[in-house]
C-alpha cells in the first residue's frame, strides 16, 4: 500500500495526504469491489476502526530468513524447512488478523509484517521477547 501511494505521488507529484484522499472509499465500497472476481488489482485507502484483534490462531508465523523469500516454513523433525532454501533458522513475522468497521459495514483484515509493525509500534520479534519475559516472570512468581 505504502509503495503504491509513493508510486502515485511520483507520477502526479501529489502529497501522501492528497493521494490517500483521492483513493479514499468507504469500507462497503471496497468489500463490494473485492467480491468481483474479475476486477483488476486496485488500491484504496479507507478510514476504519479496529474492533477486535483475532489472536486465537496466533499472530505470527515462522518465516524463512533469506532476503526476498520470507515464505512460511514447514515444521519438520530437524527444525524448520523452506521449500526453496531447505532447513533454516526461522524469523518471526506478523500475520495479524482483525475485524474492522466504518459506518457502512464490517470486514476482516490481515496485516503482515510492515503494516503490523507500524500498528503495534514494535516488531514481531520484540513482542515475542516481551511475551517470553512476562511468561518467565509469571512462572517464577507462581513458584515463590
Could you give the CA distance from residue 71 to residue 19 in angstroms, rounded to a whole number? 31
Closest to Zn ion by CB, 12 or 74: 74
* Residue nearest to Zn ion as judged by C-beta position: 64
10-36 per-residue burial string, b: 16 or more CB within 10 A, e: under 16: eeeeeeeeebbeebebbbeebbeeeee
- Please report, as residue ranges, which positions from 112 to 141 form the binding site for Zn ion (by CB under 5 A): none
Report in angstroms how near the CB of residue 86 gets to Zn ion at its nearest: 8
- Please report, as residue ranges, which positions from 9 to 28 form the binding site for Zn ion (by CB under 5 A): none
Nearby residues of 93 by Cβ (< 8 Å), 6 or more positions away: 60, 61, 63, 70, 112, 113, 124
- Please report, as residue ranges, which positions from 43 to 72 form the binding site for Zn ion (by CB under 5 A): 64, 66, 69
Binding flags for Zn ion, 70-99, as an x/- string (CB under 5 A): ------------x-xx--------------
Amino acid at each position: 500500500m505504502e509503495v503504491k501511494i509513493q508510486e502515485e505521488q511520483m507520477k502526479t507529484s501529489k502529497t501522501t495526504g492528497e493521494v490517500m484522499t483521492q483513493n479514499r472509499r468507504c469500507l462497503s465500497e471496497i468489500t463490494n469491489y473485492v467480491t468481483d472476481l474479475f476486477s483488476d488489482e486496485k488500491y484504496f485507502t479507507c478510514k476504519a476502526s479496529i474492533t477486535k484483534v483475532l489472536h486465537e490462531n496466533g499472530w505470527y508465523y515462522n518465516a524463512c530468513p533469506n532476503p526476498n523469500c520470507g515464505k512460511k516454513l514447514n515444521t519438520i523433525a530437524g527444525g524448520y524447512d523452506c521449500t526453496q532454501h531447505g532447513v533454516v533458522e526461522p524469523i518471526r513475522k506478523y500475520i495479524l488478523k482483525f475485524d474492522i468497521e466504518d459506518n457502512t459495514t464490517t470486514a476482516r483484515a490481515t496485516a503482515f509484517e510492515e503494516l503490523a509493525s507500524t500498528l503495534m509500534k514494535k516488531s514481531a520479534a520484540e513482542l515475542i521477547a516481551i511475551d517470553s519475559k512476562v511468561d518467565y516472570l509469571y512462572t517464577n512468581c507462581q513458584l515463590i
